[in-house]
Amino acid sequence: MKPIGVSIVRNMHTVRIERDGGIATVTMDRPQKKNAVTIEMAQELLATLADVAANRDDRVLVLTGAGGAFCSGADLTDPSALTDDSMGYMRRVGDLVLALHRLPKPSIAKVAGVATGLGCNLALGCDLIVASDDARFSEIFARRGLSIDGGGSWLLPRLVGMHRAKELALFADILSASEANEVGLVNRVVPPGELDAVVGEWAARLAAGPPIALSMTKTMLNNSFAVSMEQAVEDEARCQNVNFRTADTAEAMAAFVQKREPRFTGS
């Protein structure tokens, strides 16, 4: 593994990954199609997420798109998707969104331009979303004669409540970045010229954080709607019991006493 701080760029056919300072920036790279997801891209994204999950030097994932768009959804013109095995195709999509959801590291969606359909739900599947004020979001499925997918049926009600989720999914309206912010779909909306800087700052802060504690916090929050309060506090106790035995917690305590910033190693 390369040490944190070394910039590494790896290109596949439809996905690019750049590693720098503990930040793994994954770019969907089909700008001529507004980064519409093909079977090939889904497989490359899935492999990339597995690589990031396993790489100790990757502290945070930034997911974005090339060419001024995030992702326009699934590429319905992809010949490899137009088969009789639609269930198999959708399970591949499911594998991708579950891998993003289960990634044991914080993730940020950096959204410019369109984020529609599957692309919208890939953004919503990240832990945080920063959007430029020219971004547009839509659960566009109904306009295409389709039902919602990409994890949207699970994500939307948890983000905006059931009635608002039904409004977004059934009408399939296109929301501006400011409208998405008002209903709670995104964390921050910034001018296009500030998008890289704001995401870079957030990613750097997360990359400098305690990896074990952040991972367990993310998992508990993801599970929070599926467990009782009793189970939640038991899970909190179990996780803190792990933290108390880590070098990172000892480092945090020493840094507090010494009035300096802690240097977390994930151990």
62 & 189 share domain: yes
Radius of gyration, alpha carbons of the chain: 19
109 & 60 share domain: yes
Whether the pLDDT of residue 5 is over 60: the answer is no
Q: Within a 10 A sphere around the Cβ of 16, how many other Cβ atoms?
A: 17
Q: Phi and psi of 144, rounded to 5°? A: -105, 10
Percent of all residues in the chain with a pLDDT value above 90, rounded to a whole number: 89
Put the strands of the sheet holding 23-28 in their side by side order. 8-11, 15-20, 23-28, 60-65, 107-111, 128-132, 188-190
Domain tally for the chain?
2
Does residue 96 contact residue 45 with C-beta atoms inside 8 Å?
yes
197 & 222 share domain: no
- 202-248 confidence digits (pLDDT tens): 999 999 999 999 999 999 999 999 999 999 999 999 999 999 999 99
Whether the pLDDT of residue 90 is over 90: the answer is no
202 & 238 share domain: no
Q: Helices 247-258 & 211-223, crossing angle to 10 degrees?
A: 110
125 & 241 share domain: no
- 10-19 confidence digits (pLDDT tens): 778 999 999 9
- 129-163 confidence digits (pLDDT tens): 999 999 999 999 999 999 999 999 999 999 999 99
Residue span of the structural domain in which 71 resides: 8-207
pLDDT of residue 81: 61
Average pLDDT, integer, range 152-180: 97
185 & 218 share domain: no
pLDDT of residue 159: 96
The rounded Cα 148 to chain-centroid distance in angstroms is 18
pLDDT of residue 82: 58
131 & 183 share domain: yes
pLDDT of residue 140: 97
Does residue 254 contact residue 266 with C-beta atoms inside 8 Å?
no
pLDDT of residue 7: 59
Read off the tokens for 80: 């490899």
Choose among 108, 125, 129: nearest CA to 180: 129
How many CA atoms, within 13 angstroms, populate the side-chain half-sphere of residue 43? 9
202 & 239 share domain: no
Average pLDDT, integer, range 45-65: 97
100 & 157 share domain: yes
227 & 180 share domain: no
